[in-house]
Structure 1
Amino acid sequence: MSIDPSSIPSFGAPQPPAGGGRPAGPPPIVVPDQALVTQLLDQMQLKHVVDDEGDLTAPWEGFRVYYMFRGEQKELFAVRSFYDRPYPLERKHEILDLLDEWNRETLWPKVYTHTHEDGVVRLIGECQMIVGTGVNLDYFVTTTANWTQAAVGFEQWMVERLGLQEDIEGQEGEQPSDEGDDEA
């Protein structure tokens, strides 16, 4: 999925005056909230739901992106991606090497591992911004769109780096097995 930040509307930012002159000032400063993020996701034509904890979630096949406000006064905005693909504990060193490469070469999301009690390793990506005192509306919209696009890009990057494309295509094309029906 590719998201073009230039296709995202201005959400009420001042329009140029008639006649094509320059806008009458900088874009507005807003304190973002879930309603603004919902509007942004709608404009980006992304499916989304509110989960049981009240966080906005955009699901993709294989991962979910959460748009969360945290802190006593919801002053921290975070975009977190939870990637569903499990990795065995034995591959953690390999995965950490790949994450080091990703984190060195990209601005966001910063990705880390979470090892479950059963030894399964999963990946989490995260970006954060302080928004409690207000933020430029255009900056917030563009950054949120870029973070979303980067979360999708990371999943694609991991598939390429680990050579998983054939596995994924095989899973998509699998037909139910009729084993045992051919025995006569």
Structure 2
Amino acid sequence: MRPSSAVVQPDRELVKEILDELELDPTFDEHGDLAISTPQLTIYFLFGSAGDIFTVRTFYTRRYSVDEKRVLLTALNEWNADHMWPKVYTFTRDNGVTRVIGDSELYIGAGVTGEHLTTVIAHWVRFAIKFHRWLTDRLAYQLD
């Protein structure tokens, strides 16, 4: 697929075509969600129930303890203040395991150009990976 200036209504199939073109090796998980995955992270490409929001949500593999959360939140706040995306936050399960999640969202209710969608996907994937590297470096001496 060649990026286009024509307005399109994005869907899973179009996003899969773009990911294929970007050579990002997309797959579908057991729930039918489109994703790309590495040992460090999994990036999902999701559509809101009303079909007007496109979300790129990243689940970072590393798990943190509740004792590490204060240092982790300080780092996430620093990233969020300095970067537009992904916006990152924590999710702590009842067992005390904390995960980091990143979100980037785009309103698509009126459609978007194929060119814009391709650019957004490429940048958001790149920044999801950049965040992982940044956080690893940022916490290297504080948590390890």
* TM-score, length of structure 1 as denominator length: 0.73
Kindly provide the amino acid, as one letter, of the partner of residue 100 in structure 2.
Answer: L
Aligned to 2:28: 50
Alignment of 1:155-174 (within 5 A): 155-163=132-140
Counterpart selection for 2:84 from 101, 107, 110: 107
Q: Give secondary structure in 1 for the equivalent of 2:31.
A: coil
Task: Note if 1:64 corresponds to 2:42.
Answer: yes
Deviations 1:49-108 (A, max 9, x none): 111222101001121000011223x22110000011011101111000000000001110
Aligned to 2:6: 28
CA displacement at 1:140 relative to structure 2: 1.3
Looking at structure 2, the residues matched to 70 and 54 of structure 1 have their Cα atoms a distance apart, in angstroms, of: 14
Q: Give secondary structure in 1 for the equivalent of 2:94.
A: coil
What 5-or-longer segments of structure 1 have no aligned partner?
A: 1-8, 14-26, 168-184
Counterpart selection for 1:150 from 127, 131, 143: 127
Aligned to 2:102: 125
Identity of aligned residues (%): 36
Task: Note if 1:139 corresponds to 2:116.
Answer: yes
Looking at structure 1, the residues matched to 61 and 84 of structure 2 have their Cα atoms a distance apart, in angstroms, of: 22
Structure with bigger strand share is 2
Q: Whose radius of gyration is greater, 1 or 2?
A: 1
Aligned to 2:17: 39
CA displacement at 1:156 relative to structure 2: 0.6
Looking at structure 2, the residues matched to 135 and 79 of structure 1 have their Cα atoms a distance apart, in angstroms, of: 16
Higher relative contact order (CA 8 A, sep 6+): 2
CA displacement at 1:10 relative to structure 2: 3.2
Structure 1 stretches of 4+ moved >4 Å: none
Q: Give secondary structure in 2 for the equivalent of 1:163.
A: helix
Kindly provide the amino acid, as one letter, of the partner of residue 18 in structure 2.
Answer: L
* TM-score, length of structure 2 as denominator length: 0.93
Aligned to 1:92: 69
Q: Give secondary structure in 1 for the equivalent of 2:84.
A: coil
CA displacement at 1:152 relative to structure 2: 0.6
RMSD: 1.5
Counterpart selection for 1:10 from 2, 7, 20: 2
Q: Give secondary structure in 2 for the equivalent of 1:54.
A: coil
Q: Identify if the C-alpha distance between structure 1 residues 85 and 114 changes in structure 2 by more than 3 Å, giving closer, same or farther.
A: same
Q: Give aligned pairs, total.
A: 142
